[in-house]
Amino acid sequence: MAPSKLPAAVLWDMDGTIVDTEQYWQTAQLNLLSDHGLPPLTEEQELGMVGSSMADASEFFARLGVKLEPQEIVDHMNSTVMASILRELDWRPGALELLTDLHAAGIPNALVTNSTRILADAVVSTLDAPLFTIVIAGDEVDNGKPHPEPYLRAAEQLGVAPESCIAVEDSRRGLEAARAAGCATIGIPHGQTLEAHHAHLVTHTLEGITLDALGELVERVASAAATGQDAQTADDAANRESEAQL
């Protein structure tokens, strides 16, 4: 059998996907609410916030009763999360290894995040090698995820078709954005439950995922799109086959 065509690029979400920063965001949210005499978020509210843009988050907290301007809310969240990142940063299982393998193979990695540029740069600065070709940050686009703009812009800057790319995400918002852009998608659940209809492949870890497996995923999704195959059926089949291989 001929080897699979490799993806033109892999587009990565940041928080919860490659680095385990969700606890940092939860702490920042708790401190913000406490400072304004407000109760902690409910579990339902916390899950609903996963993958939110900073603009959406600031509006949400303002509606809850935080008496700050939107940019002041963003600044508060940024400073709290930044302090945590600089103190300690944990990478999600398999993420750094797959990033390194892709870089070594000459396949561009793009960081596509709803977080601000200052936080994205802080994460990238912890790397010993330049594993990311470009960074698309949430404060550098007109529309954050779940709008497809961040992923479309990443593909455009890399000079590749979105349909030839794979997006890796941990949230439904992010996956919605990537699929709307035309990317093949991998969902790595972290906090939010992800099902087959959310991503073309849902797997609990990136550990053991090979470059050939990524190429097969791109080809499978492209083939399903070309034949007009039912998306749900294609997703279920892709998950069953990929899980068997992994």
Q: Which of 1-5, 33-37, 113-117 has the highest mean pLDDT?
A: 113-117
Top-confidence residue, 107 or 238: 107
Question: Is 106's pLDDT higher than 80?
Answer: yes
Q: Judging by DSSP bridges, how do beta strands 165-169 and 134-136 pair with one another? A: unpaired
The per-residue pLDDT for range 209-238, each reduced to its tens digit, is: 999 999 999 999 999 888 876 444 344 444
Average pLDDT value for residue range 55-64? 84
| 66 in Cβ contact with 38 (< 8 Å) | yes
Q: In what order do the strands lie in the sheet with 9-12?
A: 134-136, 109-112, 9-12, 165-169, 184-187, 201-202
Residue with tokens 């090979």: 210
Please compute the mean of the pLDDT values over residues 146-162 and round it to a whole number: 97
Q: pLDDT at position 246, please? A: 41
pLDDT average, residue stretch 71-80: 86
pLDDT of residue 162: 97
